[in-house]
Amino acid sequence: MKERIVIAGASGFVGRYLEEHYRSEGAEVVLIGRSGPDVRWDDAAGLRAAVSGAAAVINLAGKSVDCRYGDANRAEIFRSRLATTRAVREAIAQSDAPPPVWFNASTATIYRHAEDRPMTESTGELGTGFSVEVAKAWERELFEGDLPGTRRVALRMAIVLGDGSALTPLVNLTRFGLGGPQVDGPWFATTARRNAGTFHEFRARGGRQRFSWVHIADVLGAIEFLRGRSDLDGPVNISAPNPTDNRTLMAELRRLLGRPIGLPAHRWMLELGSIAIRTETELVLKSRWVVPERLLDAGYTFAYPDLAPALRDILSDRGLLHASAAR
């Protein structure tokens, strides 16, 4: 009998990657989304049927944070995560055959801006501000109530690298000669943005904000590893063990793409550009220094522990790797 894997929010590139893998392995994959294709979020009976007897439930649903943090978008970022997580939890609670494990997306952004030391599950300090409050509320919703038959894991994912990821705009900038570091600096703050927790304070200098990342193959690898470890639940950092910084990331991209020159982008340029393309500078200026302590202690072996091989694999698949970097 085929095992059933339920994936909610599979329209993003991580969800599509997981779907393709599990289908290729012969699993029955049930997709939950606003309009299906298999089950809609407003179909409570369908949700119960989907999770009942499933081998695993993976919920990745939530509005992208790659947007301007105005009132409407902030509200939808919260709603889309909390409502879908609550719907999954209620479906599992009402199931006659609850799944043994439920993986729910979270984010490594839950930790504070860190330039002094890495953040682990045991010693990391949670931050403040809008993005952090979203992550905290998301995890509270996941672990709310009693689900005795189902292990719950919060996937605190770093920036996921793959085809269609946050890497794409950085690759495009590099190819056009703009692949220098993203450099923080002073910027004016409005009262509204401070009150909303969406203003990024100037801290890291010279493009040295830490960059924690994970290859998409290790997102899948970690999930499969955790499926087999019934002793592991709660928050788990899904991040490569060797994070880097923004300056090194951009230098590596230039090398692999064969672009010797890359102009830096200073804070004022980033702020104006983020308004134009409807995003936020926090996404590139916050220092995320996250290490996967629990995965390493449990014995997980990363397929891509280091940045250069991870980038080379992704760029090679897309036919972008420069001849000088192909060897």
Burial call 223-258: b when 16+ CB within 10 Å, e when fewer: bebbbebeebbebbbbbbbebbbbbbbbbbbbbbbe
- Report if residue 151 sits inside a domain: yes
Average confidence score pLDDT of the chain = 96
Q: For the residues of 255-288, what is the DSSP string, one character each?
A: HHHT------EEHHHHHHHHHHHT--THHHHS--
pLDDT value, residue 323: 87
Mean pLDDT on 253-273: 96
Range of the domain at 155: 4-162+214-238
Cα(111)–Cα(132) distance, integer angstroms: 7
- What is the average per-residue pLDDT within 204-211? 97
According to the model, what pLDDT value does residue 327 have?
A: 59
SS3 of residue 148 by DSSP: coil
Answer yes or no: do 58 and 8 share one domain: yes
The confidence score (pLDDT) of residue 164 equals: 80
Q: Which residue do the tokens 């330039």 mark?
A: 115
Count: domains in the chain? 2
Quick one: 66 and 175 in the same domain? no
Between 166 and 200, residue with greater pLDDT: 200
Q: Is 95 among the domain residues?
A: yes
pLDDT of 163 higher than 90: no
SS3 15: helix
253, amino acid identity: L
Structure tokens at 257: 């793409």
Across the range 116-126, mean pLDDT stands at 98
Asked if residue 312 and residue 170 are part of one domain, the reply reads yes
Query: What's the rounded mean pLDDT across residues 211-240?
Result: 98
The verdict on residue 187 lying in a domain is: yes
6-52 residue pLDDT tens: 999 988 999 999 999 999 999 999 999 999 999 999 999 999 999 99
- Tell me the mean pLDDT in the region 59-79: 96
pLDDT of residue 166: 86
- Give strand pairing partners of 210: 245
> For residue 223, is pLDDT > 90?
yes
- Does 177 score more than 80 pLDDT? yes
Q: Residue 185 domain-assigned?
A: yes
Rounded average pLDDT over 81-101: 98
The DSSP line for 81-122 is HHHHHHHHHHHHHT-SS--SEEEEEEEGGGBPP-SSS-B-TT
Smallest CA-to-CA distance from 163 within 321, 314, 9 is with 314
Task: State the pLDDT at residue 99.
Answer: 98
Pairing mode, strands 244-245 and 210-211: antiparallel
Neighbours of 93 (CB within 10 A): 16
User: Do 156 and 192 share a domain, yes or no?
Assistant: no
